[in-house]
Amino acid sequence: MAAMPVLKKLENAGFEAYFVGGSVRDLLLGRHIHDIDIATSAYPEEVKEEFEKTIDTGIKHGTVTVLYNGGSYEITTFRTESGYQDFRRPDQVTFVQNLDEDLKRRDFTINALAMNTNGEIIDLFNGLKDLHNRVIRAVGNPEERFHEDALRMMRAVRFMSQLEFELEGETQKAIEDNHELLKKISIERVREEFVKMGIGPHSRQAFQIFLDTQLSEDVPDFAGKKDLLSIYPQLQFSPTLETSLWAVIIILLKIPNDNIGKFMRDWKNSNAMADAVERIVELFDLLASQAPTDYDLFKAGEATLLNTIDVAHILGQPISAEALVDRYDALPIKNSSDLIVDGRFLIKNGIEPGPKLGILLNSIREKVVEGELENSKAAIKQFIEEQN
Ligand code: ATP
Ligand code: MG
């Protein structure tokens, strides 16, 4: 493990240091480790003294990012959290001198494992057993833990999906009894967990629990829509792209095109995401109701076309994907910039600047895409003359 020297350095300076959380879990599961968290008895200032390159990521919460030998490590002082007044993040963190207290505040047993420099696992809550049995179980009393931080309920279903785990019974019961608390959490944070759930390999199973526990009643625009959403667990495939996830949800909820923007904004999605999804759903509708013209495919563009094919695949909608891609590949032009002429060319050929010019340029583009007009200056010049 390339990160071991970081732990050793802290130990040699007289501090305790452990790998904790997701990196230990993923190491034991043989999963790809994407970020490494270290817990230590050293205070942030003491961590900063030991390493040359550090970033003050969250000094108040005890976190310093250390850049070392090409790697990046989040090093956090042992801490507890107290005063969860509003079912969200703690009001205060208190630094503590031992690992046990730090592990106690963590959400699930499989996320509360630590590893020392000898590769030994510290397992205070039977996380190894749960890892082996593939179970998500809250650390301590699940009810209390969800009252402290309601986001953990979404994290439970998100880890189910990502890790392909089951949810332990008491933990699930506590979610069923407390799902309304999710309303206290910011939409952005709920969305992040929802998307991770939706694009995880076990998303259909996790989504079923998301519905069964009523968590679905407490997220934007899902309340009262269980009957429509219950199709999700029966999908042919799990989405793997965020755009596909949103498009599938919108199609299942039968949201009219005019309301897609509002739906995406209710979930605090970016405009770019909203735009991409809207285009996919529009092309999907076109594929379902009528054959799209070459110009429809051109306007959609390659990314939207491929993403729409993905969505149809997930929904088990029979479409001839290959034929569509072939048709797209055969288009005379793929982008507006591929058109050999522009507005200036039209003006040079006697068209007055103004709205009519725009309309004419659009019709030239459409005819070229449809193969009715050659993409050459001579052919287009002749076409303009015929129009005048
Ligand atoms: P991944 O990074 O793969 O999504 P992770 O387990 O590393 O998963 P993070 O959100 O990065 O999840 O959090 C790191 C660790 O911090 C977790 O493993 C857990 O121990 C703890 N943690 C994170 N969020 C919470 C929370 N809301 N409540 C309690 N502990 C948490
Ligand atoms: Mg992480």
Q: Please report, for the domain that includes residue 381, its CATH number.
A: 1.10.246.80
Strand extents, DSSP E, 116-214:
121-122, 135-136, 166-167
Rounded distance, CA 170 to CA 78, Å? 28
pLDDT class for 177, splitting at 50, 70, 90?
Answer: very high
194 and 101, same structural domain?
no
> What is the domain-level CATH number for residue 120?
3.30.460.10
> Based on the domain organization, do 138 and 54 belong to the same domain?
no
Query: Could you say which ligand is closest to the alpha carbon of residue 109?
Result: 1
Q: What is the mean pLDDT of residues 289-298?
A: 92
Give the pairing of strands 135-136 and 166-167.
Answer: parallel
pLDDT above 90: residue 97: no
Which pLDDT score, from 0 to 100, does residue 90 have?
60
| Residue 361, both tokens | 């340029």
Is the CB of 79 inside a 6 Å radius of any atom of ligand 1?
Answer: no
pLDDT of 263 higher than 80: yes
- Least confident interval from 52-61, 105-114, 170-179: 52-61
17 and 85 fall within a common domain: yes
Same domain, 118 and 36: yes
pLDDT at position 91, please? 61
Say whether both 39 and 128 belong to one domain: yes
Residue ending a domain, among 179, 208, 234, is 234
- Tell me the β-bridge partners of 58: 63
Q: Which of 193, 219, 234 is the last residue of a domain?
A: 234
pLDDT at residue 84 is higher than 60: no
> How far apart, in whole angstroms, are the C-alpha atoms of residue 12 and residue 10?
5
Q: What is the mean pLDDT of residues 318-333?
A: 93
Of the pLDDT bands very low, low, confident and very high (cuts 50, 70, 90), residue 149 is very high
Q: Do 87 and 14 share a structural domain? A: yes
Tell me: is residue 149 an annotated ligand-binding position: yes
Domain stop point among 186, 212, 234: 234
Average pLDDT over residues 116-144: 97
pLDDT by residue (tens digit) across 372-387? 999 999 999 999 988 8
User: Which residues have C-beta under 5 Å from ligand 2, the single-atom ion?
Assistant: 22, 35
Summary mean pLDDT of the chain: 94
In this predicted structure, what is the pLDDT of residue 35? 92
The verdict on 277 and 315 lying in the same domain is yes
Tell me how many domains the chain contains: 4
The residue whose CA has the least distance to atom 6 of ligand 1 is 22
Q: Is the pLDDT of residue 82 over 70?
A: no
Q: Are residues 5 and 128 in the same domain?
A: yes
The CATH number given to whatever domain includes residue 279 is: 1.20.58
Residue 125 in tokens: 């809550």
Q: Residue 146 CA: which ligand is closest?
A: 1
**pLDDT for 145:** 97
Across 70-77, average pLDDT:
95
Asked whether the predicted pLDDT for residue 85 surpasses 60, the reply is no
- Are 22 and 87 in the same domain? yes
Angle at 317 between CA 197 and CA 281, to 5 degrees: 65
Q: Name which of 158, 167, 168, 242 is nearest 193 in CA terms.
A: 158
Whether the per-residue pLDDT at 86 is higher than 70: the answer is no
- CA 22 to centroid of ligand 2, rounded, Å: 5
pLDDT for the residue 275: 97
Report the C-alpha gap between 159 and 20 in whole angstroms: 16
Ligand 1 mutation pick, 111, 157, 162, 190, max ligand atoms within 8 A of CB: 111
Residue 102 in contact with ligand 1 by CB distance below 6 A: no
φ, ψ of residue 128 in degrees (nearest 5): -65, -40
- Tokens for 385, please give them: 């003359």
Q: Which is the closest atom of ligand 1 to the Cα of 37?
A: 14
Percent of the chain with pLDDT over 70: 97
CB 235: neighbour CB atoms within 10 A? 17
Q: Is the pLDDT of residue 388 over 90?
A: no
| ipTM at complex level | 0.98
C-beta separation of 336 from 365 below 8 A? yes
Q: Which residues touch 221 (CB under 8 Å, ≥6 apart)?
A: 253, 255, 263, 266, 267
State whether 212 and 125 are in the same domain: no
Q: Is the dihedral of CA 150, 153, 154, 158 positive or negative?
A: positive
- Same domain? For 317 and 352 the reply is no
pLDDT of 188 higher than 60 = yes
Do 196 and 157 have their domain in common? yes
pLDDT tens by residue, 240-255: 999 999 999 999 999 9
Q: Which of 75, 89, 107 to mutate to test the pocket of ligand 1 (most atoms within 8 A of CB)?
A: 107
Name the residue range of residue 301's domain: 240-331
Could you tell me what percent of the chain has a pLDDT over 90? 89
Pairing relationship of beta strands 79-82 and 53-58 according to DSSP bridges: unpaired
Residue 204 assigned ligand-binding role? no
Backbone angles phi, psi at 383, to 5 degrees: -60, -45
Predicted confidence at residue 89, as pLDDT, reads 60
